[in-house]
Chain A
Amino acid sequence: MNTAPDTIEALANREYKYGFVTPIESDVIPRGLNEDIIRMISAKKNEPEFMLEWRLRAYRRWLTMEEPKWANLHYSPINYQDIIYYSAPKQKKPLGSLDEVDEELLRTFEKLGIPLEEQKRLAGVAVDAVFDSVSVATTFKEKLLELGIIFCSFSEAVQNHPDLVRKYLGTVVPYSDNYFAALNSAVFSDGSFCYVPKGVRCPMELSTYFRINAMDTGQFERTLIVAEEGSYVSYMEGCTAPIRDTNQLHAAVVELVALERAQIKYSTVQNWYAGDREGRGGIYNFVTKRGKCAGDNSRISWTQVETGSAITWKYPGVILQGNNSIGEFYSVAVTNNYQQADTGTKMIHIGKNTRSTIVSKGISAGHGNNTYRGLVKVLPKAMGARNYTQCDSLLLGDQCGAHTFPYMEVQNSSSSVEHEACTSKISDDQIFYCKQRGLSAENAVSMIVNGFCKEVFKNLPMEFAVEASKLLGISLEGSVG
């Protein structure tokens, strides 16, 4: 009469409702990767010379690098010559406004719950919609521009704000950073760009919705957010892909720069297709995300809910350069069926009195394997630096795994680093207790899992918290108490 596994199975086997394919004609380049392909991508995007050069330098560097093998992940080798590095839905003409976006694309995003027509949108959220390799629409652009905020696709930023791109691109994640960052730097096709000028508090949530549609393509997007002195911005990112039984590669780079007293909140709900019950198909998600607290008293927070992808390799970090700067990382990572996640963060303390907080919640079910990997590094000059890490794992069933690899390098004696970790299982007694109060087993599991994630969910913007909670098959806790 052990009810917990049944319920967990039910949760695990819920249908992936974003698994459809949009029938749309695409502009696709030949399979494989070489310098000509990179030139072709750059030419398609009509990029200035400095971009092409940067891409080529990244590509040449990539050729000398090896795919990292240290992660606790097992997957068949990726054939980089078998991937299509650029695929864009064919547009009848260059986009002038939202009215000119292909109907089929609008319908796709509407189906995903992201209506792009502004009057239908939540008033508080501006969206950049990325479909395969290109951004198809950005809402509320003009309204934001009135405040001096630039929010557009990366391609547009390269065209219209080349100086800003040149000044900041690669300053937080250089192309030489790692294998996947180098690959992304060479072939990235689009993404979002955001610039918040001095002293401006961005009045709405900015968000990018990433959608992979075409088969055998990789998605390589790049996001850059710059928050000038004393500014504030909250940014959210969501992702889905069709159900396919082959694996697709997603290798993104996100760079955040926070200048003096600036604050950036970056939230992700990652729901790429995770593969089927037997572990066939799904997205390989190799992502490099990093923020730099460049100025004093600046603050960067990462909040992520990772429920999708067959493989997740992701360590959003913060370089705490400015004195008194703050870095935060809140994460829920769920692995079901045969999903594998190796995720965590890097907090690099450089400035004085810098502080970092890490709260990681790993949930493993089915045959899922969940690894937390985190680095807290305190450099000699980071006097008075403090870190607090809490790292909890919840196991549902007895076929899954949870692993923790915390690394700490502390190079001065005036700093303090704390690490707490715990692993728990949902016990039959807990479920029975909930049932005795009238809850169904499914509700009981949802409630317990939701409670386990609460510290992370409370850091998400409202719209996302609801979605994140739904994603886990959970009804969000009410407003009482």
Chain B
Amino acid sequence: MLEIRNLCATADHKTILKGINLKVGIGEVHAIMGPNGSGKSTLAQVLAGHPSYAVTDGEVRYEGQDLLALAPEERAREGVFLAFQYPLEIAGVSNAYFLRTGLNEIRKHKGLEELDAMEFLGLLKEKMKLLEMEPSMKSRSVNEGFSGGEKKRNEILQMAIMDPKLAIMDETDSGLDIDAMKIVAKAVNKFRSPDNAVIVVTHYQRLLNYITPDFVHVLFDGRIVRSGGKELALELEEKGYDWIKEEAGTLREARV
């Protein structure tokens, strides 16, 4: 479904991604882990098309298309969803209206009929129940005055409603207490299907206790330096990232 080849990207002329290679197949869950500043969030943002990053090399194929050639809204309509690490606030726009507008754009693109207010409300209620969200959250302004945990839950609510093919979760677990994390994980597990794929970006192994990944990748200094199964996450949890850094360091020296 997704194939990243030698992806290099810069922000403010600083090289952050230095040749990412990654294949994500349909029905798979991939976890991307790594220390602070390794480029995890950049990878997520580049896949979604954030304008602050410039792709300098490499390519990304998504469902047979050149993903990088698509505008951010086209990627969204084609089924790429990013759960933001820092969700934005939009004052005066209700959560429900924001979601319905986005969903209908995507439906229009797929050639489906737009949902009217009542139909949408039904869907929204069902998904909000799944995420154990207060009913008042739908009429509140998008993320405005939400706690950190509420914002993250709201991102997953959006994911559940948009029903993307490729969901990228950028550190959704940070700022969540353990109960909230379980709720989020439950929603993600419910979302998982043979028809979609999930990329979970995280610092910690904790979330992966609840969302079991098929593959774990370690990102360090703009490259994927190690890949493995779910046990790799446990190993990282136990040993920290230092050994990875050392290994990568040795690797670099060897290359020089």
Within 8 A of B (CB), among A430-466: 430, 432-441, 443, 447-448, 450-455
Residue with the highest number of chain B CB atoms closer than 10 Å, among A435, A448, A481: A481
Is residue A1 within 8 Å, beta carbon to beta carbon, of the partner chain?
yes
CA distance A440 to B76 in the complex (A): 10
Is B105 within 8 A of A447, CB to CB?
no
- Which of A430, A435, A455 is in CB contact (< 8 Å) with B76? A435
* CB nearest neighbor in A for B121: A480
Please tell me if B82 contacts chain A, counting CB pairs below 8 Å: yes
Given contacts A429-B88, A452-B92, A436 and B51 within 8 Å (CB-CB):
no
Please give the number of chain A residues whose Cβ is less than 8 angstroms from any Cβ of chain B in the complex. 31
B199 CB to nearest A CB, Å:
15
Which residues does chain B contribute within 8 Å of A455, judged by CB atoms? 92
**How far is A161 from B88 in the complex, measured between Cα atoms in Å?**
58
A478 within 8 A of B: yes
Chain B CB within 8 A of A163 CB: no
Contacting pair A438 B51 (CB below 8 A): no
Asked whether A451 and B141 contact (CB < 8 A) given A440-B73, A480-B96, A480-B120, the answer is yes
Q: Does B65 contact A (CB under 8 A)?
A: no
- Interface: B101 (CB within 8 A): yes
The bracket for how many chain B residues form the interface is: 35 or more
Whether B117 lies near A480 (C-beta < 8 A) is: yes
Contact A451 B90, CB 8 Å, known A437-B102, A481-B95, A481-B97: yes
| Complex: A448 Cα to B142 Cα, angstroms | 10
Does B223 interact with chain A (Cβ within 8 Å)? Answer: no
Complex alpha-carbon distance, A451 and B106, angstroms? 22
Chain B contacts for A479, CB-based, 8 A: 117
Check A432–B51 contact: CB distance below 8 A.
Answer: yes
For A430, give the chain B residue with the smallest CB separation: B88
Contact of A1 among B51, B87, B105 (CB under 8 A): B51
Identify whether the interface residues of A are mostly helix, strand, loop, or mixed.
Answer: helix
Q: Is the CB of A450 within 8 A of B92?
A: yes
Which residue in chain B gives the minimum CB-CB distance to A3? B51
With A and B bound together, what is the CA distance between A2 and B81 in angstroms? 21
Cβ–Cβ < 8 Å partners of B75 in chain A: 436
Contact flag A432-B72 (CB < 8 Å), given A438-B103, A443-B101, A479-B117 = yes
Contact of A438 among B50, B105, B117, B141 (CB under 8 A): B105
Q: Provide the residues of chain B in CB contact with A477, threshold 8 Å.
A: 93-94, 97
| B88 x A433 contact (CB < 8 A) | yes
| A448/B90 in contact, CB under 8 A | yes
- Closest residue to A437 on the B side, CB-wise? B102
In the complex, are the beta carbons of B73 and A453 less than 8 A apart?
no
Give every chain B residue within 8 A of A437 (Cβ-Cβ). 76, 98-99, 101-102, 105, 158, 162
Chain B residues with CB under 8 Å of A25's CB are: none
- Determine the residue in chain A with the shortest Cβ distance to B115: A480
Interface readout for A1-21 with B: 1 if CB under 8 Å, 0 if not? 111000000000000000000
Per-residue 0/1 for B42-83: is the Cβ within 8 Å of any A Cβ (1 yes, 0 no)? 000000111110000000000000000001110111000110
Give the distance in Å from the alpha carbon of A448 to the alpha carbon of B89 in the complex.
10
Q: Which residue of A lies closest to B140 (CB)?
A: A481
Instruction: Looking at the assembled complex, report how far the CB atom of A422 sits from the nearest CB atom of chain B, in whole angstroms.
Output: 10
Distance between Cα atoms of A478 and B116 in the complex (Å): 9
Which has the most chain B C-beta neighbours within 10 Å: A434, A436, A454, A478? Answer: A436
Nearest residue, chain A, Cβ from B81: A436
Q: A435-B49, A481-B121 are in contact. List 12 more A-B contacts (CB 8 A).
A: A428-B51, A433-B87, A436-B48, A436-B81, A437-B99, A437-B101, A438-B73, A438-B76, A447-B90, A451-B92, A454-B93, A480-B96
